[in-house]
Structure 1
Amino acid sequence: MNDQSIITIRPGGPDDAPAVLRLLDVATAWLVERGRTGQWGTRQPSTDPGQIARADQWATSGGLHLAMRGNRVVGALVVGDATEHVPPATEPELYVRLLVTDRAHAGLRIGARLLEHAAEVARARGLGLLRVDCYGGDDRALVRFYEGCGFTPTEPFTVVRSGREPWPGQLLVRRLD
């Protein structure tokens, strides 16, 4: 096994916002190529001022973790507080705010490894609950991905967006040992 096949995870920081935007651009293009525009739309995140500001906030939040293959960022995880569009947790939790991987490295279980890293972070903080939400539309493939990583779907929800179609979401939970 050469060093390029090894995935490591490192903390992210302020200089990593462009890498997060690149991953989001790649993922958005991949979804658009497959006609799956309901999840993130068609606009490249790196051209959207709101997404640029969000990536900067994630990069400075202390919750950004990056999957590395050699010197290349191949995945990003952001953990922190729950998003405003889901019901609050009834116990202390760690919330997955973003999970995105580079589709050019599909098959390496990068997303699953980042989610396991999130579980390790939660356990280290003494937390027994990990939650995430995702796009719950189309064929629910993303929901099935999270189920395969040990999450259980709970409440579906809808995000109403001005001038756009409503966004169907799914909240999922994972209990930690």
Structure 2
Amino acid sequence: MEIIVRPGGPDDVQAVLALLDGATEWLVAQGRTDQWGTQPHSTSPWRVGQISGYAADGSLWIAEYDGRPVGALAIGDAKPPVPPAEEPELFVRLLVTDRALTGQGIGRVLLDHARDLARQAGVQVVRLDCFAGNDGALIRYYESQGFTRDVAFSVQRENAPDWPGQVLVQRL
């Protein structure tokens, strides 16, 4: 399976939202609604604006297989509640892959691309944050990709349990 990574743009927004919707459906089917809830991302004005912003500012990257988007990566500055880095970094703000292709290495390819971008920028640290709830499977995935746990945090939500998060870091 040959996956290519290319810059994303405004024409990719709907494809990224579809990937996010598919990931949410996959999580819901497993009974894992604490991470992203049950509603499609494509119906959230906030999420549409976020992905549109990534596409407009050049921070979006698309993984393609056989000419179709199968994953997305966005990089940029860490945002609260993630604490700022103590040294220059590349921060992964979004990583999503086509759940129908689970196990094909799409996430690894996108994380390798992030590491390459960091090296090109002369940056020695890649950080990201992720959902730390349920059984910790997402944290274990990033650990399998060479990241180590850094700071845990919690996001308070109205009318819902707090959202547990984990910052992970990898030194290049």
User: TM-score surpassing 0.5?
Assistant: yes
2:97 counterpart residue number: 101
Cα deviation for residue 126 of structure 1 reads: 0.4
Query: Secondary structure at the residue paired with 1:89?
Result: coil
Output aligned runs, 1:9-88, within 5 Å. 9-88=5-84
Give, in whole Å, the separation in 1 of the partners of 2:117 and 2:77: 13
Give, in whole Å, the separation in 2 of the partners of 1:83 and 1:175: 20
1:89 counterpart residue number: 85
Which sections of structure 1, spanning at least 5 residues, go unmatched? none
Q: Structure 2 counterpart of 1:39, which letter?
A: Q
Say if 2:144 is the partner of 1:148: yes
Q: Structure 2 counterpart of 1:62, which letter?
A: G
Give, in whole Å, the separation in 1 of the partners of 2:73 and 2:11: 15
Q: Please point out which of 134, 149, 159 is paired with 2:130.
A: 134
> Identity, % of aligned pairs?
53
Deviations 1:57-100 (A, max 9, x none): 11112111110001110000001111221111100101000000
- Root-mean-square deviation over aligned CA pairs: 0.8
Q: Structure 2 counterpart of 1:131, which letter?
A: R
Q: Please point out which of 156, 165, 169 is paired with 1:169.
A: 165
Query: Secondary structure at the residue paired with 2:38?
Result: coil
2:4 counterpart residue number: 8
Query: Secondary structure at the residue paired with 2:83?
Result: coil
Q: Structure 2 counterpart of 1:110, which letter?
A: I
Give the structure-1-normalised TM-score.
0.95
Deviations 1:135-174 (A, max 9, x none): 0001000000000001000111001122322100000000
